[in-house]
Structure 1
Amino acid sequence: MTSTTQLTGERADLLQALRQHRGFLLRTVDGLTDEQAATRSTVSELCLGGLVKHVAGVEERWMRFAVGGAQEMQRVAVDWAGQFRMAPGETLAGLVERFRAVADQTDELVGTLDLDAAHPLPEEPWFEAGATWTVRRVLLHVIAETSQHAGHADILREAIDGAKTMG
């Protein structure tokens, strides 16, 4: 997850925060078997591999929004339930590889996008009607989403084998 573009100021700060929370998530799944990564260790539907898959998908969708708005974000259908699980044939290594590829794409985009450019949010019940988000706001959302799920992952990992990433 490295960028060839040298960023400074606000862009560097945003990207550093995102990289930090991505790192927490990746450290949490480090050393797991595919079976462990697919384990639902709490009453939740969440598994560690599913969280890696979900966070990559969220970041990818929001960066499509940052580039092309709601229409571009919704261009690819989302398997709302399946995004939190490891599907048959998926491996943790494959999910981490995709996560890193998405991260690399985002890292490159952060250096090129106008942070003040804004798009109307998709018309969904969980978004304020008529609201728009800037690219900056999108990046802040991706940071928050990644951070939140890194915390979820820490709890799941502790329930699997007692390992603690952040505590």
Structure 2
Amino acid sequence: MKAETMTVNQLTTDQSAEAPAVTDERADLLRTLAEHRHFLRFTTRDLTDEQASLRTTKSALCLGGLIKHVASMERMWVRFILEGPSAMPDFTEMTEEDFARRADEFRMLPGETLAGVLDAYAEVARRTEEVVAGLPDLNASWPLPKAPWFEGQPEWSARRALLHILAETAQHAGHADIVREALDGAKTMG
């Protein structure tokens, strides 16, 4: 069976840069991630900045905040792929200030715009695609940082980190769909 070949540019909305060809498993991972990114971004179609910052359910989630969080999480895991656990905080030593900054990822702050949040997310996506295209081996692994939720998982490969990014993006796209439907009845599908 002939391997399917696509460029990273075919997976992103920014068609301006030349990108290396991505094949096989990498193409599948990036294509699936691009689909879930699309669903997440699509939940913000035709919204104002104010609407993107509204909490529409009992949770603290808003659409702009969800996108900020997913972008931050993806940026962190891509750094982990490249640098290992030093790219991530020691979650066991986080301060109240660290947790407050993390909570700010889930909301739009004064002066932030939906366009700015989406542009930042597109840049993170572009960087992820560039890194994945250039990885010599998806099996390359690093020890995980200290965190109670990583107990029993001593290390993750680049592949496992990418799968985690994909799962987080898909999960939060579902959250965003619920937030949007509660806002004005719009749905991603159906």
SS in 2 for 1:111: helix
Residues 103 and 159 (structure 1), Cα distance of their counterparts in 2 relative to 1, 3 Å cut: same
Shift of 1:129: 4.5
Residues 35-88 of structure 1: per-residue CA shift (max 9 Å, x gap): 10000000000000000100000000000000001102339x672211100011
Residue in 2 aligned with 1:136?
159
| 1:103 corresponds to 2:118 | no
One of 133, 138, 141 as aligned partner of 1:118: 141
**Aligned amino acid, residue 80 of structure 1:** R
* CA distance in 2: counterparts of 1:143 and 1:130, whole angstroms: 19
**Aligned amino acid, residue 40 of structure 1:** R
1:14-33 equivalences under 5 Å are 14-33=29-48
SS in 1 for 2:50: helix
SS in 1 for 2:57: coil
Structure of greater Rg: 2
* CA distance in 2: counterparts of 1:121 and 1:81, whole angstroms: 22
1:144-163 equivalences under 5 Å are 144-163=167-186
Shift of 1:130: 5.6
1:25-104 equivalences under 5 Å are 25-74=40-89, 79-104=101-126
SS in 1 for 2:22: coil
* CA distance in 2: counterparts of 1:51 and 1:72, whole angstroms: 22
Residues 92-121 of structure 1: per-residue CA shift (max 9 Å, x gap): 000000000000000011111120110011
SS in 2 for 1:87: coil
* CA distance in 2: counterparts of 1:26 and 1:80, whole angstroms: 21
TM superposition score normalised by structure 2 = 0.83
SS in 1 for 2:156: strand
**Aligned amino acid, residue 132 of structure 2:** V
TM superposition score normalised by structure 1 = 0.95
Could you list the runs of 5+ residues in structure 2 that have no partner in the other structure? 1-11, 91-97
Moved more, 122-131 or 140-149: 122-131
**Aligned amino acid, residue 123 of structure 2:** A
